[in-house]
Structure 1
Amino acid sequence: MNAIDPTDYVEAEEGQLYLRFGDDKQQAKFELGVCMAIYKWEELTTAVDNSWGGPKSGEKRDWISGIVIELFDEKVVDVQLIEETLLYAMVDEFDTEIDNDSALEIGALVMKFYKNVRDRKYEAIDELYNKWTEKQATKTSKEKVTVGADPNNPDASDSESDDEEDEEPHGDDDMDVDVQEPAGPVIDDDGFELVQTRRRR
């Protein structure tokens, strides 16, 4: 891989207040490119797959894509800014410090995609997206194969469902405890027994 220049940057054209594209197709392609770059980051993929950010790790990855896209609401963005944003997000959201140049590489890829989109060259983004969709399709088909009865223990799923059915009536018993009448007489502060009205069920 060619050496990455952390100071490589893009700047809004004169009269423009931000780097966001005015053309909807260009902006959509750029946002897709950012998402594909983030999904390509192996360190983040490992963190998501292992739920280092908790049960919503996948959503956090999408959020990171969003904050990188928002960087381009400014007039100037460089590779180092994208790298730092990614590194801070990994610490804040996944409690993980990255000590290699992987975030810098992703920052450079985002910068490359921005320049491509500016020149209306979408091939690299489309290629990465096609690879990603193929990978997702393969992953989904594998998951479908593994779902089903365990051939080594065919009764496992049946017994689990039986256990769940057995547990349900206990939940109803617990509810009855809350509405039962007091067992003995109720005496007030002056020592008189209070007359209790029975609640109808």
Structure 2
Amino acid sequence: MTSIDPTDYVEASEGNGLRFNDERQQAKFELGVCMAVYQWEELNTAVENSWGGANSAEKRDWISGIVIELFDEKVVDIQLIEETLLYAMVDEFDTEVDNDSALEIGALIFKFYKDVSIGNYNDIDLLYSKWQEKQSKGSSNINRIHIEEDPNNPDVSDSEEDEEDEGDNEDIPQLQQEDSMEVDTEPVGPIVDEDGFELVQKKGRRGGRR
């Protein structure tokens, strides 16, 4: 894996934040953020297993929105994006990610921002094409987490286990990096405007960085 500098940052030269004034550039960047977030396997696992409840897929889209909102500020670094992703996973999915996957997604988003700033949309368009192709084929490989029966307590009923889980909020799922894992998802999906650019529907800042 290429070395990532978490302190690498971009800073606005004007007082309007890091949003692009050109609508096409901004739309492409927002599309890039969506595609990067949909690449995060740990988040996809949480969505497919409904760790965030019935609206888990909607929460994934909201995470894309809060990352985009970070660029309303004048300075953003990779670590800020990583922390925002990690906090969102804890707040929305009760899940702690203890590997570098959020850092890698942050670096990818950062790369997309720099690409868009020079008018290079190739990588974003490639990911979007792959995403569209995946949607057209449908989801066949969904990463479900199955909890086996406790061999030491075989008589414990499912309902009793559910009650124990609900009463212990400290048991947060731990995710480890699995390079071989491939997750196909059926996202609620970003909105495509009349020019063919995909936009994120922001829902307001509900957590973000703390």
**Do they superpose with TM above 0.5?**
yes
Counterpart for residue 48 of structure 1: 47
Counterpart for residue 134 of structure 1: 133
Counterpart for residue 168 of structure 1: none
Counterpart for residue 9 of structure 1: 9
- Residue 2 of structure 2 aligns with an amino acid whose one-letter code is N
**Partner of 1:2: helix, strand, or coil?**
coil
**Partner of 2:10: helix, strand, or coil?**
strand
Q: CA RMSD in A?
A: 1.3
Q: In the aligned structure 2, how far is the partner of 1:117 from the partner of 1:60? A: 26
Q: In the aligned structure 1, how far is the partner of 2:88 from the partner of 2:66? A: 9
Write the deviation string for residues 79-136 of structure 1: whole angstroms up to 9, x where unpaired.
Answer: 0000000000000000000000000000000000000000000000000000111111
Larger RCO (alpha carbons 8 Å, 6+ apart): 2
Cα distance, 1:17 vs structure 2: 2.7
Q: In the TM superposition, what are the counterparts of 1:87-166 in structure 2 within 5 Å?
A: 87-139=86-138
Query: Which of the two has higher C-alpha Rg?
Result: 1
Q: In the aligned structure 1, how far is the partner of 2:106 from the partner of 2:21? A: 22
Q: How many residues align?
A: 141
Q: In the aligned structure 2, how far is the partner of 1:100 from the partner of 1:48? A: 18
Unpaired runs of at least 5, structure 1? 143-201
**Partner of 1:126: helix, strand, or coil?**
helix
**Partner of 1:54: helix, strand, or coil?**
coil
Q: In the aligned structure 1, how far is the partner of 2:125 from the partner of 2:137? A: 18
- Residue 16 of structure 2 aligns with an amino acid whose one-letter code is L
**Partner of 1:61: helix, strand, or coil?**
helix
Counterpart for residue 37 of structure 1: 36
Q: In the aligned structure 2, how far is the partner of 1:134 from the partner of 1:4? A: 30
Unpaired runs of at least 5, structure 2? 141-210
Q: In the aligned structure 1, how far is the partner of 2:32 from the partner of 2:56? A: 20
Cα distance, 1:139 vs structure 2: 1.0
Q: In the aligned structure 2, how far is the partner of 1:9 from the partner of 1:24? A: 23
TM-score by length of 1: 0.68
TM-score by length of 2: 0.66
Q: In the aligned structure 2, how far is the partner of 1:137 from the partner of 1:95? A: 31
- Residue 107 of structure 1 aligns with an amino acid whose one-letter code is G
Counterpart for residue 59 of structure 2: 60
Q: In the aligned structure 1, how far is the partner of 2:106 from the partner of 2:43? A: 13
- Residue 4 of structure 1 aligns with an amino acid whose one-letter code is I
Higher helix share: 1
Write the deviation string for residues 34-72 of structure 1: whole angstroms up to 9, x where unpaired.
Answer: 000000000000000111100000000000000000000
